[in-house]
Amino acid sequence: MGTKNCINVWLTLLLLNLIPSLAAIWGSRYYMVTIPAVLEAGAQTKFCASLLEPNETLTMTVTLKSGEKNTTLYEKTSSEEFHECIQFQVPLVKNEEVQKLEVQVQGNTFYSEEVRKVLIKAYQPMTFIQTDKPIYLPGQTVRFRVVTMDTKFRPASQLYTIIKLEDPNNNRIGQWLNETSNSKILQLSYPLNSEAQEGSYKIIVSAGENKIQHNFKVEKYVLPKFDVTINVKEEVSVGQEVIEAKVCGKYTYGQPVPGNVTVKACRPFVDYISKSQRKETPCDIQTQKADKTGCSTFEFQMSIFTRGDQTVLQDKLDVTATVEEEGTGTSLSQVKQIQISYVIGKLSFVDVPNVYDQGSVVEGKVKAVHYNDTPMSHQSLYLLKDYNWPPHVLQKLTTDVHGFASFSLRTDALTEDIFLRVKQVSPLPSLSYSTYKVPHIPIASHTITKSQPPSVTTTSSLNIKNKTILPCDKETEIFIEYTLVQESPDSVDFIYLVLSRGAIASQGRILVEVENKSVNEGEVSFKLNVSPDLAPEVQIMVYAVLPSKKVISQSTDFSTEKCFNHKVSLEFSSSSAVPGEETKLQLTAQPDSLCGVSAIDQSVLIKEPGKTLDPEKIFSLLPVRKVSEIPSEVVEPMDCLLELLMSRCCLKLNNPFYMKVLLTHLFMDMKKLGLKMATNMFTGLLQCSKILSTMSSVYDYGKAEEILEPIKTVRTFFPETWIWDLVETGSSGTKNVSLTVPDTITTWE
């Protein structure tokens, strides 16, 4: 049997298999239960249940089944639609265990049952180590803390069977046995020998089956008195004439550094070019005197770095800035890389519809801007149709002073989707010229779909507008754009799920009225309270069952500000003080909290940047920040029609026709979010294993029964670590601490 006949036969079998399921959907009475594929053992979590268009009284029962016990999580009888999320306690397991979620929906004339596997997993407590600074001189005292929390950032009791300190040769030079946290902060110290070997040292903490390691340096060093910053764009275009760079030198106490500033910018050769083949590296060196703010601004001509054969040069600039202090000759350098782009402009379609009706006039605009987003006026452009060769030029456009060019197309003779392209005018309107190391404006594209009568597939769509970073502890609005094609007038529920750290945080629905027209387009929104429990990542999915019983969906990931439930603040009685002055530190947190407070000379952070504890390091401890797949242990072992088609007819997954027939966006969006779906809808056919392949320096750890004895350390007149204390706030939640300002003239962080 030929391939074509084979496809026809198996497609017929496929449709015969689909007809009963589709008939069940079109006969209404369908439901959906959504639950994360992985559940944290012992935690409170949620699943969401929906019942749509019941034409009789139905009872939904959700049961979690294990080999030892069956637990009814939810039971509801209703003759009306509902969408709700239910919170329940996940059973405790030792390590991990696969259990089954059974969903039954039954009435007088209807019965359906779906079973899905879920993985219950026990997460270990999270432990981190903090040293008072990242680098030490031989003879100094290493002070460190060990903190253990659960996945909700709550303090947890933990026995540390052994804590050891190793030198660069992996020799154990210190150890502590059977220390316990008692749900507090464990604080320890170790005095280094005055002849201690220079190199990288390790603190290793054994907590249960886990080992946590923290590194620090020991070396003979002199702290820098000032810092150097380079302010320059991360990427520059060969289309610009000048590259600007601003360099500043500031003392650690905030004052500008007087002296000279030298900047060297070079474009290096590619690695495979031998030294004998290399000519002089394109470089430019400039020196200026710092102004009264300690800064200097430099301008480099782009032409210096684009002369000659550019194929032997890397697409980057290495910028080295050096500040030399006046009077002492002390200098400090910083290095930064700038990427070089050959894109000199950008084209885009504006106000162009996504769907058209045959016989209508399609109108829209093209926008052209330079590399710096300024309008590209009087620019000649080709408006092209399809991917054909030679390209089919529809119109030649010219932008106005604002960079816009309008166009219109009649669609009387068109019977398919319109694929539009726009490109700058060149000698030939080619779509395939090489852009490698050639200044160019990328081709822009836009597809206008021809409206179709209802079918198995749909051109209706949803789009969640993305924002850069969601602000914490604030209410933000999430906008959803929708396009509904060839749908009969009715009300449609847009159902949204909000997930964080692999769990469902909330659910809601938005009612949309479908008007009597071929294309309904619009925008709806819902308000999301971005609480600390949602940080640092939020995943949102929106789906809708349309009047034609087709399902559309979309999911999007959002980043949030990194924040915590326990708010801690500290304030000095004065923002500046002279050496030896008495000052007060006011610490505010929740009542009866134990807080770790530290203050370090900013010079240490200039020498070893990025080595201190910060919110990102805390959030990186989470076992789950966001989910992108379903574990193989709980992929449903069902026969797959697509696998059958592939094996018999040699079809491939990237065949768009069969992907449209067999896959729905809803199922794929669920999979991307790590969600399991128990439903009697069309998507249930597709579950196949072959298709699914500011904390700053202060921390609040809740209530403390008692404060650990402070470690007695020898303080010098110029300490690099000024404050390293555990402070209990008491019942008022506020504690005032008297301090003496060190003699070091610097900024303390």
Instruction: Of 251-255, 676-680, 704-708, give the lowest mean pLDDT range.
Output: 704-708
Q: Is 154-218 a CATH 1.10.260.40 domain?
A: no
pTM, two decimal places:
0.74
Residue 368 pLDDT: 93
Do the domains 154-218 and 226-341 sit in the same CATH topology, yes or no?
yes
Report domain extents, the chain: 154-218, 226-341, 345-441, 569-614+696-740
Residue 113 CA to its chain's centroid (Å): 37
Helices and strands (DSSP H and E) totals, the chain:
6, 47
pLDDT in tens, 126-172: 999 999 999 999 999 999 999 999 999 999 999 999 999 999 999 99
For residue 497, list its beta bridge partners: 507, 541
CATH 1.10.150.170 fits 226-341, yes or no: no
668 has a pLDDT exceeding 90: no
Query: Does the pLDDT value for residue 660 go beyond 70?
Result: no
Half-sphere exposure of 220 (CA within 13 A, CB side): 5
Identify the helix (H) or strand (E) that includes residue 20. Answer: helix 3-26
Query: Residue 737, Cβ neighbours under 10 Å: how many?
Result: 15
The Cα–Cα gap between 643 and 645 comes to 5
pLDDT band at residue 691 using 50, 70 and 90 as cut-offs: very low
pLDDT band at 707 (very low <50, low <70, confident <90, very high): very low
Question: Whole-angstrom Cα distance, residue 509 to residue 611?
Answer: 45
Statement: residue 319 has pLDDT above 90: yes
Give me the mean pLDDT over the 510-524 stretch: 91
CB burial string 260-293: b at 16+ within 10 A, e below: bbbbbbbbbbeeeeeeeeeeeebebeeeeebeee
Q: What's the topology of domain 345-441?
A: Immunoglobulin-like (2.60.40)
Lowest mean pLDDT among 196-200, 434-438, 515-519, 726-730: 434-438
- CA end-to-end span of the chain: 77
DSSP three-state, residue 34: strand
Q: Contact at 8 Å (CB) between 159 and 125?
A: no
Q: Comparing 195-199, 210-214, 407-411, 430-434, which segment has the lowest mean pLDDT?
A: 430-434
Give me the amino acid identity at 158. Answer: Q
Q: In which residue are the tokens 């200039």 written?
A: 606
Fill in the amino acid letter for 244: E
Helical (H) or strand (E) element with 9: helix 3-26
Checking if the pLDDT of 688 tops 60, the result is no
Strand partners, 248: 229, 295
Q: Contact at 8 Å (CB) between 148 and 127?
A: yes
Q: Please, what is the Cα angle at 432 between 429 and 436, to 5 degrees? A: 120
pLDDT in tens, 69-79: 899 999 999 99
Three-state DSSP state, 468: coil
Helix boundaries (H) for 575-654: 602-607, 615-619, 641-649
pLDDT of 603 = 85
pLDDT, tens digit (0-9, with 9 covering 90-100), for 455-468: 444 478 889 988 77
Mean pLDDT taken over the chain: 83
Token pair of 254 as six digits: 């905030």
